[in-house]
Structure 1
């Protein structure tokens, strides 16, 4: 093993000792890594599919650091077999205003998994049997949750657990509406019993054994208000459980709200839904550059899920396909997410991975950049050439990423002085994608980078 590769793995153990021990830093000392059902199954994932992906993670990816498996939205919705409907609605009946389809719900208005889709949840067991199974694999279990209270609970006016005499109609805010899913209303946090409502649903999730929650409809765009009070309430509710639950906020967090996000969550989406188009990947570069300085233990700006592998098997966008990204663009995708320290949540159906995709997500040298690099930043952006760097903790080594957005191969170079290194010193460079040392350089380093391509390198001072 070369000096560079030895350094790469050595600093992993040292770094873990130096992390500030805040509650969030303990929950998410490094960017979360795992699998999420959304890109492949939209709102329709079923238990057998979830188990197959969890088993794949346990068998093939856990040893590389991947450890979360997450059921995305609408796990309570009674989809017909084979349905690919995304953002599935409820309908109000004319005669009495009741809502169809009916969602499984307990006496306190807390939604339960759809039993047809998740058979192990029958008899009021919820997700506990599935969470227990995930834990038996040595993994962590996550779910998606919509902000607010079910409209169905309001129609039934269910009691709020832990708030004597308070019911759903007493805490609902019917003016607080998610524009893309009509099953929930917001909670009026000025009302008695509002915090108890959030405490009650988090108690349920903690009893199930949930380790990760993606809380949706907290932000959207410049015309949509950030749901600050409900995010705070959700965070307090997690604390009330005394269970370590990592909180991820979605979607498109406004930069101006970064401090509140840092105080109340471990990760948050910095963009709208990201899919497998080069134009959208290009857009992520500016967002990642804006947010990079915020990345630290317990606080991870999220560039959205990895658009790799087999996606859209049943919704939510387009026909079933392998990612439209070329292999070169997939390397660029993984390189940017790694150097900027975004959470790595794989979105494709893992059992259908190609050998190439598997190679992208099991390269330990690339993963180490994501998990252990510090102080990520864009060094420069000029004429469709982009250079990023991060530091290797407790050393003078540098992680370096070179990108080319042009339609043809470009010569991309950077001076060692631009990286904060001694311009007169000699440096050994290791290609992390190829897992090999490529030479000793002085003053500058340059590579030919393919169109839409990227390279990732480790730079260490050469032996004298």
Structure 2
């Protein structure tokens, strides 16, 4: 089954970190407008309505067992018209179509969250499966229900009767036909990876392909996800989570260093390992955790988060309520020298010792969008030829870290014939040719270049060097 490759990881906004299960149409549009106006020119182009958009009783901090979900006569979820008034009277299939059109009119793509399986309420009503002679109770498998959300039960993929298995496929086909008719461009399909639901993933991807609409598929959550699943993931999905939900704590960010180091070498247009959303800006307005607040990550930790996600080429889905987020948040999200890493090749962790973690990557200048080149410090027409070589020096420790990097050890030429830029500082970094060993550049071999850096606790120094000799 063919999946359309994507040239870079998806980028956009998702409602979960700020509104949890309770986001409204007005809030989606408010965030879409800011995304379009402030960030879309740099690739932030997708707006995603997260979980429980069909629940009229949705609340922050939890899910509602037995919720009276809005569904149609074939057991397919519909938007709650109380929160999404443009979806009122959706028995005709209107659903999210008006909201999707409004998002499209802003030059953006529209996405929704879905859950594996079939709604319990459809099983209780024993609604007919569109295109079959069977009903919801015949395809439902309560023994494989979601462990953390009460809305859905699994499907009977292992039933010995091929008619039942065909009806399971028909249910997914009918739901994806509906979403495609609404103009959905992106689906975050949840409860797919823990435990790994191979039959659902394959059937869901098949249903997307059958719908005829080029919908990108994101799989969640990624707890305990193994590289043994890589080929299957690449065959069926655009992106897949490699961790559980990530929130605005240093412990959550630090835990993803090892995961992203394992998965980053496999990130490519064939599929993108996902470190989860960026809990940046104004979050927890009505969300799963905490009271309304600006991200608890320090400025240094926020730069580390974005740098690590970019150098590992993880998808970027910001979770803050953009209309209420600070200018500092927008400055963080709009640094083209950092975002350029999403177009890198050879991204990998090259060194880890104590609190020092080093990553390297390279980005062909001629692969970058014009908006990036136009904004890069010192960029000119000549910068479209060559390779931007990146070095990210992370400090996971609690004290400042002072180290002299050996250019040859971090993927740079031994001798540099141009400036090295400190990307976050927007200034030139020191680059000192070393002729003899001395205390000023301990660990740097004679004949190489020393680049002294000081990295604050939980911080990062991101260096970029334009190597014109290896471009073209």
TM-score where L is the length of structure 1: 0.88
Query: Equivalent residue for 1:281?
Result: 253
- Determine which of 163, 168, 183 is the counterpart of 1:194: 168
Q: CA deviation at 1:68?
A: 0.2
Query: Counterparts of 1:13-162 in structure 2 under 5 Å?
Result: 23-25=3-5, 28-79=6-57, 83-90=59-66, 101-124=67-90, 125-162=94-131
Query: Equivalent residue for 1:168?
Result: 136
State the alpha-carbon separation in 2 of the partners of residues 416 and 85 from structure 1: 49
Query: Equivalent residue for 1:96?
Result: none
Query: Equivalent residue for 2:331?
Result: 359
Local SS of the residue matching 2:451: strand
1:31/1:342 contact within 8 Å kept = yes
2:430/2:451 contact within 8 Å kept = no
Local SS of the residue matching 1:195: helix
State the alpha-carbon separation in 2 of the partners of residues 414 and 148 from structure 1: 51
State the alpha-carbon separation in 2 of the partners of residues 62 and 461 from structure 1: 29
Query: Equivalent residue for 1:233?
Result: 203
Query: Equivalent residue for 2:270?
Result: 298
1:446 lines up with 2:452 in the alignment = yes
Structure 1 residue runs of 5 or longer lacking an equivalent are 1-21, 91-100
Aligned residues: 422
Local SS of the residue matching 1:86: coil
Q: CA RMSD in A?
A: 1.7
Structure 1 range deviating more: 118-127 or 252-261: 252-261
Query: Equivalent residue for 2:188?
Result: 214
State the alpha-carbon separation in 2 of the partners of residues 216 and 388 from structure 1: 31
Query: Cα distance 1:450–1:462, how it changes in 2: closer, same or farther (>3 A)?
Result: farther
1:242 lines up with 2:218 in the alignment = no
Local SS of the residue matching 1:55: helix
Structure 2 residue runs of 5 or longer lacking an equivalent are 159-164, 367-385, 434-447
Query: Cα distance 1:128–1:291, how it changes in 2: closer, same or farther (>3 A)?
Result: same
Query: Cα distance 1:361–1:425, how it changes in 2: closer, same or farther (>3 A)?
Result: closer
Q: CA deviation at 1:424?
A: 4.5
1:428/1:462 contact within 8 Å kept = no
Local SS of the residue matching 2:348: strand
Query: Equivalent residue for 2:370?
Result: none
Q: CA deviation at 1:441?
A: 4.4
Structure of higher RCO (CA pairs closer than 8 Å, 6+ residues apart): 1
1:142/1:213 contact within 8 Å kept = yes
1:428/1:441 contact within 8 Å kept = no
